[in-house]
Amino acid sequence: MKKTIIIPCYNEKKTINHIIELVRQNISENDNIIIVDDASTDGTRDLLKKIDNKQISIIFHEKNYGKGRAIKTALDGDLNEIIIIQDADLEYDPKEYQKLLLPFKETNADVVYGSRFLGGSKYSRIHYFWHYIANKLLTYFTNFFTNLNMSDMETGYKVFKKKVIKSIDLKEKSFGIEVELTIKLAKKKFIFYEVPISYAGRSYSEGKKIGLRDAFRAIYCIVFYYFSKS
CATH label of the domain that carries residue 155: 3.90.550.10
The predicted-structure confidence for 17-35, as pLDDT tens digits, reads as follows 999 999 999 999 999 999 9
For the residues 155-168, what does the mean pLDDT come to?
97
- Per-residue pLDDT, 129: 82
Task: Write the CB contacts of 177 (distance below 8 Å, at least 6 apart in sequence).
Answer: 66, 67, 68, 71, 72, 170
Cα separations in angstroms, 70 against 25, 127, 144, 166: 23, 27, 28, 15
For residue 132, what pLDDT band results from cuts at 50, 70 and 90? confident
Sign of the C-alpha dihedral, residues 22, 77, 194, 177? positive
Contact predicate 179/216, CB 8 Å: no
Full domain range(s) for residue 46? 3-227
- Per-residue pLDDT, 219: 92
178: nearest Cα among 167, 190, 170, 166 = 170
Whether pLDDT at 46 is above 60: yes
- Per-residue pLDDT, 227: 93
Angle in degrees, CA 122, 128, 134, rounded to 5: 100
- Per-residue pLDDT, 81: 98
In a 3-state reduction of DSSP, which class is residue 77?
coil
Share of the chain above pLDDT 90, in %: 80
Whether pLDDT at 213 is above 90: no
* Number of domains observed in the structure of the chain: 1
Amino acid at 212: L
What is the DSSP track for 90-139? SSS-GGGHHHHHHHHHHS--SEEEEESSSS-SS-B----HHHHHHHHHHH
- Per-residue pLDDT, 230: 65
- The C-alpha atoms of residue 152 and residue 135 are separated, in whole angstroms, by 7
Task: Write the CB contacts of 15 (distance below 8 Å, at least 6 apart in sequence).
Answer: 88, 89, 90, 207
For the residues 121-132, what does the mean pLDDT come to?
70
Whether pLDDT at 204 is above 50: no
